[in-house]
Amino acid sequence: MALCLKQVFNKDKTFRPRKKFEPGTQRFELYKKAQASLKSGLDLKAVVQLPPGESINDWIAVHVVDFFNRINLIYGTMSEFCTERSCPIMSGGLKYEYRWQDDSKYKKPTKLSAPQYMCMLMDWIEMLINNEDVFPTRIGVPFPKQFQQVCTKILTRLFRVFVHVYIHHFDSIINMGAEAHVNTCYKHFYYFIREFSLIDHRELEPLKEMTERICH
């Protein structure tokens, strides 16, 4: 029997602690606005559009953090099925392999298992979104010039989580009764990155057929 979504996506199962917005800030208000639109049943293509008069960087920042929280929760739920033994390479089928690179421990693209890659990824994103020089939260502090480039890199790597989960762990998603929820999260993510051209179309190839089927 399929579990209800509250059982499947238990907040205790997040791979990393949730990042929250400070009440009273502009970003918190934008987050509430975005969540209200989602819950209202509006078309997801409309939900991702920049509200009139709002800053595009604030809008992107809110969504990057929200997608980090959501994908973090999905992978946290799936992580018991994604092991060193089952997934010795971070991949999306036989055709796509993702290697890890950062500015500290792995300075060259390095082959990692999927669990290792996910761990490095979530730590890396968490470090960035908690860095005031990259994701400023104080009023009047401008975003850095390379902000959207950083967000493109974050979102590109988060997309790879969807690739791995859909291709290697979709049976587990179905068995848990979570298919509709994961699909909705994916569609929201996909419409957002397309609306603002935030991921190179070549990165989207692994899920192209599925995307054409569920994202009309």
125: Cβ contacts below 8 Å, ≥ 6 apart:
68, 154, 157, 158
164 is in an annotated binding site: yes
Q: State which H helix or E strand residue 97 sits in.
A: strand 96-97
> Please, what's the largest Cα pairwise distance for the chain?
52
Q: Are 6 and 75 spatial neighbours (Cβ–Cβ below 8 Å)?
A: no
185 is in an annotated binding site: no
Closest CA to 170 of 78, 76, 63: 78
181 is in an annotated binding site: no
Residue 116: count of CB within 10 angstroms of its CB: 16
Q: Are 109 and 195 spatial neighbours (Cβ–Cβ below 8 Å)?
A: no
Q: Are 31 and 62 spatial neighbours (Cβ–Cβ below 8 Å)?
A: yes
Q: Are 121 and 161 spatial neighbours (Cβ–Cβ below 8 Å)?
A: yes
169 is in an annotated binding site: yes
φ/ψ of residue 113, rounded to 5: -70, 165
Residues contributing to the annotated binding site for Zn(2+): 82, 87, 164, 169
Residues annotated within the binding site are 82, 87, 164, 169
